[in-house]
């Protein structure tokens, strides 16, 4: 397993539309393993293959929710190969989103609170499931990556520009400290 570099805005590869996976083979499983290691090291709760420079329709999610309020996070890694949203609820809910490709920046995005999705797992087995809550939101966020969409694209131009200015300021401050 390896920690892979995560692409950050404005890298044009993040706008690339990812291709379907033809066969879930050992190469795909190795990429999935590396993606989990990368996501955990970041740390994050979701990662699309394009975020590590691989334009394939693969994403990994682990909400790592604590078992108890002050308990250790419980890992529940989920793999989605060639995911599709079949239906979604009419009700949108606001959720504060962040992204490993737009580090340390957060904004509220409205998304459907329930979806029905279909995908393959790391063994190539097909799944179809009704998904709600945080998992539904994270799955939609990561699936956007597969289509070249970032969470900031769901914001007004004013809010998007504000997030990008904050990111630029953060990068300038980090560069000053490194010099």
pLDDT digits (tens, 9 = 90+) for 40-54: 999 999 999 999 999
Q: Alpha helices of 94-156 — where are they, by DSSP H?
A: 133-146
Q: State the pLDDT confidence band at 71, using cuts at 50, 70 and 90.
A: confident
Domain definitions of the chain by residue range: 12-178
Read off the tokens for 49: 């293959």
Q: Given this structure, which CATH class describes domain 12-178?
A: alpha beta
Stretch 102-116: mean pLDDT, rounded? 97
Residues 33, 60: Cα–Cα separation, whole Å:
9
Does this model's pTM top 0.85? My answer is: yes
- Spell out a b/e string for 32-71, using b for 16 or more CB atoms within 10 Å of the CB, else e: bbbbbebbbeeebbbbbbbbbebebbbbbbbbbeeeeeee
Q: Write down the catalytic residue from 8, 72, 142, 173.
A: 142
* Whether 53 contacts 7, CB under 8 Å: yes
Q: Is 173 a catalytic residue?
A: no
Strand partners, 73: 66
């Amino acid at each position: 397993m390896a920690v892979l570099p995560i692409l950050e805005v404005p890298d044009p590869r993040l706008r690339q539309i990812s291709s379907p996976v033809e066969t879930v083979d050992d190469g795909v499983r190795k990429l999935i393993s590396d993606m989990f290691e990368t996501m955990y090291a970041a740390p994050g709760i979701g990662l699309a293959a394009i975020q590590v420079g691989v334009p394939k329709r693969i994403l990994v999610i682990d909400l790592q929710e604590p078992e108890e309020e002050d308990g250790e996070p419980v890992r529940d890694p989920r793999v989605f190969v060639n995911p599709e949203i079949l239906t979604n609820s009419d009700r949108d809910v606001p959720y504060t989103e962040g992204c490993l490709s737009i580090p340390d920046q957060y904004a509220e995005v409205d998304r459907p609170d329930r979806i029905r999705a279909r995908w393959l797992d790391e063994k190539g087995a097909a799944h179809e499931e009704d998904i709600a809550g945080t998992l539904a939101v994270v799955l939609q966020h990561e699936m956007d990556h597969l289509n070249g969409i970032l969470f900031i694209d769901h914001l007004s131009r004013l809010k998007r520009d504000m997030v990008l200015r904050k990111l630029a300021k953060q990068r300038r401050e980090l560069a000053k400290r490194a010099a």
